Amino acid sequence: MNIAFITSELAPWIKVGGLADVSASLGEALTTLGHEVQILVPYTGTTGLPETVLLPRERSGFLVEPAWTWQETPVTDHLRILWISGPGFSDRVGTPYSDASGRPWPDLVERYAQFCKVLIMTYARGGADAPTRPDLLHGHDWPMGLIPFWSQALDIGIPTLFTIHNLGYPGLLDRASFDRLGLPAQLWNEDQGILIGQSASSLKAGLRFADQLTTVSPSYAREIGTPEQGGELADLVRKRQGDLSGILNGIDPDTWDPRSDRLLPAHYSADSTEGKRQCRRSLLDVLRLEDTTHPVAGFIGRFVNEKGVDLLAAAIPELVNRGWRLVLLGRGAPAMEQGLKESCSPYRGKVVLLTEQSEPMAHLIMAGADLFLMPSRYEPCGLTQMYSQHYGTPPVVHAVGGLVDTVRDADRDTGGTGFLFKTPTVQALLDCCQRAEQAFQDPGRWSSICKRAMKLDFSWSSPVREYEQAYGRATDRRRKRTSCSTHNRAPKSSS
């Protein structure tokens, strides 16, 4: 099968969060099953991508308009990347979602919606300048939510699968943007359309029109069908429950492996852990943190409330009082970053806040910390708790979403590899940290917990086969829809 992966992020080049890692590693994993994978990603930045990325260039062309161009570069014999340049993307500097100062692009959702339309129009037109026609379109999260709609509306006959990475980001369009995109008026309603309140939602479009749906953990697939987690989309999620699969993300074992990680000062494994102690010393030295007999804890993630950053900030004084050292790495809204700076600044030598994205530092924190903190209010899947366990750094997590599916509590399970708390409050987080420290202060028990964590299998070997099965179901459903053309048919575009 020739699979088109359509995404807004791709590690290591265009990375804001875990979507970038998943796009790269799942795409590569699918090729091990014999599939051909083309990853399509629009890129941002006036200088474009480095020539070392764009070369060797095998093919190039344009979409339905000359302003939209693509360049194809091979990664392996079965994996290719199509870098797409177009208005609102390659003529801007910043991330896919915000400018260089961190402010969201004002036309953020509209420009991705336009990209979806232009891409599907290209497949409908075909021609020598078009990318290779795939057997299946796999769109990722709200930026690609309109791929399934346009695929049906333009009747291109290609099955679609849509992955919900985070239902909390619905991709909202106002009426003016909706009309400029040429979306049919029938979609401007809640019951049969894509409206949420007074705005159209690209994510709801994907949820409504894709042949098959996946999300990134079994627990999250159940949670988003509840009013608490699914909100205004919960009813639609429940209606499509038969087409929805919760498939746990995997991690790239070549990039994240303490036995061979080129970004670490020392290597180690479950059978030989001296290298981890060296990484701990290196982390303290590089960040000029005072040594301690208490845990060194790390946090890596976006500084937003959904990640529980406000809980962590409120817990800092008590954790420092207990003798802990803390390293926080991430980016967020200016107000959130400023609040964290104020929380951390009184504790020089004990707490470090890092707001510049750094892959080497992320790896050093994973290896050098004793514990990894992840107090997310909700977490569709999460990758960092998998990385931390793979690096022998037990996580402290809120028992929600993919965290429940990947972390077993060491105080309640003989096979435990971390610590979970059930209520997203500061006190619950502190109590859980206290339990973790009790285990940390028992060397024999701590060593067993860390070694068990390092032996867990978080590879793509099982999830990739679940995706392969979902692709088969999407193909079957598309075939049935084609033979029964009135079933859940998308309304025709007004342009």
Q: What is the pLDDT of residues 128-139, one digit of tens each?
A: 899 999 999 999
Same-domain check for residues 178 and 226: yes
Is 260 within a domain?
A: no
What is d(CA 21, CA 340) in angstroms, rounded to the nearest whole number? 26
Mean pLDDT of 381-410: 97
Q: How many domains does the chain have?
A: 2
Phi then psi dihedrals of residue 431, to 5 deg? -65, -40
Same-domain check for residues 163 and 179: yes
pTM value is 0.90
Same-domain check for residues 244 and 367: no
What's 489's DSSP letter?
P
Is the pLDDT at 492 greater than 70, yes or no? no
Is the pLDDT at 52 greater than 80, yes or no? no
Same-domain check for residues 229 and 311: no
Same-domain check for residues 38 and 165: yes
Is 136 within a domain?
A: yes
Same-domain check for residues 288 and 373: yes
What is the span of the domain harbouring residue 246?
2-250+462-483
Is 264 within a domain?
A: no
Same-domain check for residues 174 and 157: yes
Same-domain check for residues 61 and 156: yes
Amino acid at 293: T
Same-domain check for residues 280 and 385: yes
Same-domain check for residues 304 and 183: no
Average pLDDT, the chain: 93
The two three-digit tokens of residue 109, written as one number: 């959702």
Is 490 within a domain?
A: no
**Three-state secondary-structure class, residue 252:** coil
Contact 244, 208 (CB under 8 A): no
Is the pLDDT at 489 greater than 80, yes or no? no
User: Got the DSSP string for 23-73?
Assistant: HHHHHHHHHTTT-EEEEEEE---TT-S-HHHH-S--EEEE-SSTTSEEEEE
Mean pLDDT of 276-282: 98
**CATH classification at residue 44:** 3.40.50.2000
